[in-house]
């Protein structure tokens, strides 16, 4: 990431200096060198994770670790799915449910909220908007105790609902922020045209604003999903029963309750990362920019 930025910056600097793009081989070399460096730094942990999950135990605990696996085994994966000891499948399902529901909630509330922030004038609009940003700055650890009291009072301890609520609330600021920035860039005339064409505000939101915002909606969904999928603190405090645990808690318990399960932990971690990557690769096609091209002139 940082390397890409550096490379971009050096490219822009060159454009600034020469007035236009005039790619020399030296410039290109610098760009690719920076790119490779970034890739190595960013991808190395994933590589280690993958290699460890595929290595037999004796290789993992060897006193002479090697970067290249000498033998490959899927035994850690079979243990995850095969044995009754690890409820990996159940953790995975729990996480999937919690993350999808949260991301969807967050998106629906976010669309309506961001729309009203950007398109309607009401007293306190600016105040609430600033509030949203401030809330996002707060760390979840600082509110965990009062939040637990609220959840306990509502009788929601050890329910999925407790996570739906707290995750939606904690992802909402980001969703709102992303959406309202995007909505502000949408030309209002397009919505006005729809209203003059006989469509109500709600219809306009869902038939015009939502389709035009697809890239940012997908991105916001991904972010919310990722946050909920990886969240640890709330889940560890609110959930009690094994059957409801999500992946981060599950994996942590696995590590805490058993000895020498590095291989399984890495396999589980790898499988935890996988859905996010697959989702990203699939949804990326919807995140193309420039959906509004051709709508308005000037």
Partner 1 sequence: MPYNPSQSEQPANHTGSPHSRAPASEDDASQSVEATRVALSALTKRFDDVVAVDSIDLEVNPGELLVLLGPSGCGKTTTLRMIAGLEAISDGVVEIGGEDVTRTTPQERDVAMVFQSYALYPHKTVRENIEFPLKKLSLTDDEMAERVTETASLLDIDDLLGKQPSALSGGQRQRVAVGRALARQPSVLLMDEPLSNLDAKLAVTTRSELRDLQQRLGITTVYVTHDQEEAMSIADRIAVMNQGRIEQIGSPREVYQEPRSEFIATFLGDPSMNVFDADGPATPLRRTLTETAPTATARVGIRPEGGYLLGDDGPIGTPATAVTEAVQCTVTVVEPIGRAYEITLRAGDQQFVIRTRTRPEWVEADADVQVVFGQSEITFFDETGRRIEDG
Partner 2 sequence: MVELKLEDVTKRYDDAQGTETAVDGVSLVAEDELVVLLGPSGCGKTTTLRMIAGLESVTSGRIRIEGEDVTDRHPSDRSIAMVFQDYGLYRTMSVGENIGYGLKHSTDLSARERRNKVDAMAAKFGIEDLLDRDVAELSGGQKQRVALGRAMVREPDVFLLDEPLASLDAKLRSEMRTELQQLQAEMDITTVYVTHDQKEAMTMADRIAILDDGVLQQSGSPEAVYRNPASRFVADFLGNPPMNQIEVVAAPCGDPDRLALRCVVNGESVTLLTVARDDQSLSPGDEVVLGMRPETLSVTSPPAEGPGFEAIVAMTEYQGNDNFVHLRLGEMEFTAVVPPSSQPASGEPCRVTVDPQEIYLFDSESGDAIRTAGESMIDRTLASESSS
Binding footprint of partner 2 on the chain (CB under 8 A):
17-22
Among 200, 241, 259, 285, binds partner 1 (CB under 8 A): 200
Cβ neighbors of 100 (< 8 A, separation 6 or more) are 225
Of residues 190 and 279, the one with the C-beta less far from partner 1: 190
- Cα separation, 98 vs 245, in Å, equals 10
With CB under 5 to 8 Å by kind, the binding choice for 185 among partner 2, partner 1, none is none
233-292 residues near partner 1, rule: CB under 8 A: 291-292
Q: Alpha helix locations (H) across 205-261?
A: 210-212, 214-230, 233-238, 247-257
Of residues 12 and 257, the one with the C-beta less far from partner 2: 12
193 is a site residue for partner 1 (CB under 8 A): yes
The binding track of 205-244 with respect to partner 1, each residue x by CB under 8 A or -, is: ---x--xx--------------------------------
Report CA-CA distances (Å) from 27 to 24, 32, 39, 114, 273. Answer: 5, 9, 19, 42, 35
Least gap, CB of 202 to partner 1 (angstroms) = 12
With CB under 5 to 8 Å by kind, the binding choice for 127 among partner 1, partner 2, none is none
- Cα separation, 166 vs 143, in Å, equals 11
Least gap, CB of 20 to partner 2 (angstroms) = 5
123 is a site residue for partner 1 (CB under 8 A): no
Least gap, CB of 215 to partner 2 (angstroms) = 21
Among 187, 257, 258, 284, binds partner 1 (CB under 8 A): 187
With CB under 5 to 8 Å by kind, the binding choice for 212 among partner 1, partner 2, none is partner 1
Of residues 124 and 298, the one with the C-beta less far from partner 2: 298
SS3 (DSSP) at 121: coil
- Cα separation, 157 vs 53, in Å, equals 34
Of residues 22 and 62, the one with the C-beta less far from partner 2: 22
Of residues 17 and 256, the one with the C-beta less far from partner 2: 17
The count of residues in the chain is 298
Task: Using the CB atoms, write b or e for 78-99: b if 16+ within 10 Å.
Answer: ebbeeeeebbbebbbebbbbbb
Of residues 20 and 25, the one with the C-beta less far from partner 2: 20
Q: State both tokens at 220.
A: 């916001």
Stretch that binds partner 1, among 36-44, 54-62, 70-78, 204-212 (CB under 8 A): 204-212
Ramachandran assignment for 122, one of left (phi > 0), alpha (psi -120 to 50 degrees), beta (any other):
beta
C-alpha distance across the termini of the chain, in Å: 35
Question: Do the Cβ atoms of 166 and 148 come closer than 8 Å?
Answer: no
Q: State both tokens at 275.
A: 């859905």
| SS3 sequence of 154-171 | CCCCCCHHHHHHHHHHHH
Of residues 22 and 125, the one with the C-beta less far from partner 2: 22
Using CB under 8 A as the criterion, which residues of the chain lie in contact with partner 1 when the complex forms?
187, 189-190, 192-200, 208, 211-212, 291-298
């Amino acid at each position: 990431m940082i390397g890409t930025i550096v490379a971009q910056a050096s490219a822009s600097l060159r454009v600034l200096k020469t007035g236009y793009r005039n790619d020399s081989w030296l410039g290109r070399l610098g760009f690719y060198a920076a790119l490779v460096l970034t890739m190595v730094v960013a991808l190395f942990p994933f590589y280690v994770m993958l290699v460890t999950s595929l290595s037999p135990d004796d290789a993992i605990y060897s006193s002479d670790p090697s970067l290249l696996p000498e033998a490959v085994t899927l035994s850690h994966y079979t243990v995850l799915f095969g044995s009754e000891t690890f409820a990996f499948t159940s953790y995975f399902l729990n996480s999937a449910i919690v993350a999808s529901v949260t991301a969807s909630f967050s998106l629906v509330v976010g669309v309506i909220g961001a729309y009203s922030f950007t398109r309607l004038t009401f007293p306190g609009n600016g105040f609430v908007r600033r509030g949203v940003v401030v809330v996002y700055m707060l760390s979840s650890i600082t509110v965990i105790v009062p939040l637990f009291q609220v959840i306990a009072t509502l009788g929601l301890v050890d329910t999925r609902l407790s996570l739906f609520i707290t995750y939606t609330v904690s992802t909402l600021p980001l969703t709102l922020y992303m959406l309202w920035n995007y909505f502000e860039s949408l030309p209002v005339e397009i919505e006005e045209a729809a209203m003059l064409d006989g469509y109500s505000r709600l219809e306009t939101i869902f038939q015009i604003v939502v389709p035009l915002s697809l890239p940012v909606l997908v991105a916001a969904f991904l972010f919310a999903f990722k946050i909920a999928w990886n969240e640890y603190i709330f889940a560890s405090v609110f959930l009690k029963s094994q059957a409801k645990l999500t992946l981060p808690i599950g994996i942590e318990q696995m590590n805490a309750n058993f000895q020498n399960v590095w291989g399984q932990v890495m396999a589980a971690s790898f499988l935890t990362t996988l859905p996010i990557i697959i989702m990203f690769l699939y949804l990326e096609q919807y995140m193309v920019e420039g959906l509004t091209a051709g709508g308005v002139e000037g």
